[in-house]
Structure 1
Amino acid sequence: MTGVSIFAAVLSYLIGSVSFSYVITRWVRGYDIREHGSGNAGATNMLRVVGKGPAAAVFILDALKGIAAIGLGSLLSEGQTLMMVCGIAAVIGHNWPIFLGFRGGKGIATTIGVTATLTLAAALIAGAAAILAIILTRYVSLGSLIFAAGLPVMIAVLDYPTSYIYLSLVITLLAFVRHATNIRRLFAGTESKLGSSKPRS
């Protein structure tokens, strides 16, 4: 990687590391969102703990982090690969933010921002499947995993650049790593559903 590429990736990571769920909860409620509900610094836990409005704001702002990272990559290079690398760096920052001791969210909203910017059609199809799964099962984690797994498939089917396929596999891997405990609970039948009074991480 060139110096410009490294700079772009690091800055994108720092953009991703800004935790809006933490900031907004501190502002609205005066406490750390990670100490309540599921303990996750993300929109779903915000919905359960703080409310619909703040959760919607966090979702949009987290998605904008991904869009901003792609914009940075585009500004510094015309290469498609750097844009995707910046997007991945933002997702990593969201998941493991340097500003919060590397305890962040699960990166789905930021991933949506990244993929909707670079691969809109693929993101829409994978997103539709995810939303349907959430409606039918009320498992947000299952919908998130379906979205993440469907991305590289649809990117390949819709004939996006090959580099996008490989880099989207990294995004998929990141999502599955962050949802490891959710996957175990899904198989065990103990995962919390949307609206559950006993949220899990």
Structure 2
Amino acid sequence: MERILCIIIGYALGCIQTAYIIGKLYKKIDIRDYGSGNAGATNAMRVLGMRIGVLTLAVDALKAILAVVVTALIFGYDNKYLLLYAGIGVVLGHNYPFYMKFKGGKGVAATLGIVAAVDFRLLLLAGIPALLLLLTLKYMSVASLTFVLLLPIVTAIFYLKGPHGVEMVFQTLFFTVSAFWRHRGNLVRLVRGTEVKMGQKVKIEDKNRHDGASGGNG
């Protein structure tokens, strides 16, 4: 029951769709009709501009941090596996919001917030190589997938031999599998050499949904 409650807490907060809400308030558009068709931070950068995109990423990370904090206040911060269940709920809510026909983002920005709140060391060890790849290659999707690939590995380094260690590694594997599933279109475009790099904007006037735009951090 504790695990289920944590997932419910996370899902409720994860359903806050920052990119969708800002798109409606700022430009009166459904951001899912533009760019990659994804309600996430990277598509917000591409469609609404860098400042709005960064704001979206920050809020998506903060809602994940809030879910971890609420869970920690109920069950204690030392119960890391329960905090990760809240994180799983956040990603599910972000990716599959019930009131948007289960069409949301890709969950990487939320995962960043979860990892930062649960154990900042994991964020540094998985995040720094991903950031270096982003700065070098300019592909948000590559950076995002590198981050989630490294996450179970660094989790195993710190927690595998401790209480609930195996469970925690499998929990972080959920973030990996979920992100790869949501980025399957990006993977196809990377193989074909058609993936778009960071910095290219989509004109609001043009509905380019699923046009090959990168949706890395949504």
What range is the shorter-chain TM-score in? over 0.9
- TM-score, normalization: structure 2? 0.85
Aligned-partner Cα distance in 2 for 1:80–1:138: 33
C-alpha RMSD of matched pairs (Å): 1.6
State whether structure 2 residue 193 is matched by structure 1 residue 189: yes
Q: Which amino acid aligns with 2:94?
A: H
**Aligned 1:63-78 pairs, distance under 5 A:** 63-78=61-76
Range that drifts further, 160-169 or 30-39: 160-169
Equivalent in the alignment of 1:8: 6
Larger RCO, structures 1/2 (Cα 8 Å, 6+ apart)? 2
CA distance in 2, matches of 1:119, 1:149: 17
Instruction: Tell me how far apart the structure 1 counterparts of residues 148 and 108 of structure 2 sit (CA, whole Å).
Output: 8
Find the residue that maps to 1:158 and give its secondary structure: helix
Contact 1:111 1:171 in 2 (8 A): yes
In the TM superposition, 1:94-113 aligns within 5 A as 94-113=94-113
In structure 2, distance between residues paired with 1:54 and 1:196: 14
User: Partners in 1 of 2:154 and 2:5 — Cα distance?
Assistant: 30
**For residue 31 of structure 1, what is the aligned residue in structure 2?**
29
Residue 73 of structure 1 deviates from its aligned partner by: 1.8
Q: Calculate percent identity across the aligned residue pairs.
A: 36
Three-state SS of the structure 1 residue aligned to 2:114 is: helix
Question: Which residue of 1 is the match for residue 208 of structure 2?
Answer: none
Work out which of the residue numbers 27, 34, 56 in structure 2 matches 1:58: 56
TM-score (norm 1): 0.92
Distance 2:98 2:62 in 1: 19
Distance (Å, rounded) in 2 between the aligned partners of 1:122 and 1:7: 24
**Shift of the alpha carbon at 1:18?**
1.0
Deviating above 3 A after TM superposition, structure 1's stretches of 4 or more consecutive aligned residues are 158-161
Q: Which ranges of structure 1 fall in alignment gaps of 5 or more residues?
A: none
Contact persistence 1:41–1:104 (CA under 8 A): yes
- CA deviations on 1:3-62 (whole Å, 9 max, x unpaired) are x54233213102101101000111110111111122111111111111122111111100
Give the CA deviation at 1:200. 4.5
Using the TM superposition, give the Cα deviation of residue 129 of structure 1 relative to its aligned residue in structure 2, in angstroms.
Answer: 0.8
Give the SS at the match of 1:27: helix
Aligned to 1:42: 40
Listed as ranges, the gaps of 5+ residues in structure 2 are: 202-211
Amino acid at match of 2:57: F
Q: Map Cα deviations across residues 141-192 of structure 1 (whole Å, 9 max, x no partner).
A: 0000000001111122234641322211111111111111111211221211
Alignment of 1:64-143 (within 5 A): 64-78=62-76, 79-143=79-143
Contact 1:33 1:46 in 2 (8 A): yes
Q: Secondary structure at the match of 1:75?
A: helix
SS of the aligned residue for 1:22 comes to helix
Indicate conservation of the 8 Å contact 2:138/2:197, yes or no: yes
Equivalenced residues, count: 199
Q: Does 1:177 align with 2:181?
A: yes
Maintained 8 Å contact 2:35/2:43: yes
